[in-house]
Amino acid sequence: MATLTISKAFSELFSAPLEAVLEAEEKYLSLWLKNLKSIKKIYVQGSGQQAKLKAGADLAELIDQYAPTVRLEGRIETALTMRIAGVKETSGSASGGLSLGPIHASGGFGFTSRNTQESVFQASTSFALSNKEFSLGEYLKTAKVSLASAADLDKAIQHLELDLKSRPTEGAE
């Protein structure tokens, strides 16, 4: 049977929604990375120093068109109900015997006392989450990555890959 301390329960109630938001952000970064790689496959000709955008391709416009914009608004409510039970049992026994010649007698006495207590613990949290609309173009501007050439597209891909790799993993300190 699983056991959970009250302090661990409160910790989970408050940290679970925040961890979910961080996981969602990581998934958006992964999705943006896939979109950048797809744009590169479709709209870039050549490779390395020879790489050029196809005629008429505008990276900023392509990114705005194909990369989803993140807008997070919502309410996360979590609740926990724990049943706390305790059982205390006391038991004892005594036995004895008597023997007089061919006559033998013996006897015993035993007792058991059992007390049970049960209580219910309930806790809940409610988070209201929101952020401003955030797009891949804005993310790259914040990172000082321009969107003018095929080389810039490679820089953007490298930046996203580095950002995803540098995120802490579960249990890391």
Residue 109: inside a domain? yes
Which candidate, 10, 8, 26, places its Cα nearest to that of 170?
A: 26
Q: What is the pLDDT of residue 161?
A: 92
Residue 172: inside a domain? no
Cα distance between residue 68 and residue 134, in whole Å: 9
Q: What's the number of domains the chain is made of?
A: 1
Residue 173: inside a domain? no
Residue 2: inside a domain? no
Q: What is the pLDDT of residue 171?
A: 52
Q: What is the pLDDT of residue 34?
A: 93
Residue 30: inside a domain? yes
Residue 3: inside a domain? no
List of residues 6+ apart from 135 with CB closer than 8 A: 63, 64, 67, 69, 70
Residue 29: inside a domain? yes
Residue 97: inside a domain? no
- Residues of the domain holding 137: 9-86+102-166
Q: What is the pLDDT of residue 2?
A: 63
pLDDT along the chain (173 residues), means of 10: 72 81 86 90 80 82 83 80 82 82 80 86 80 82 85 89 82 50
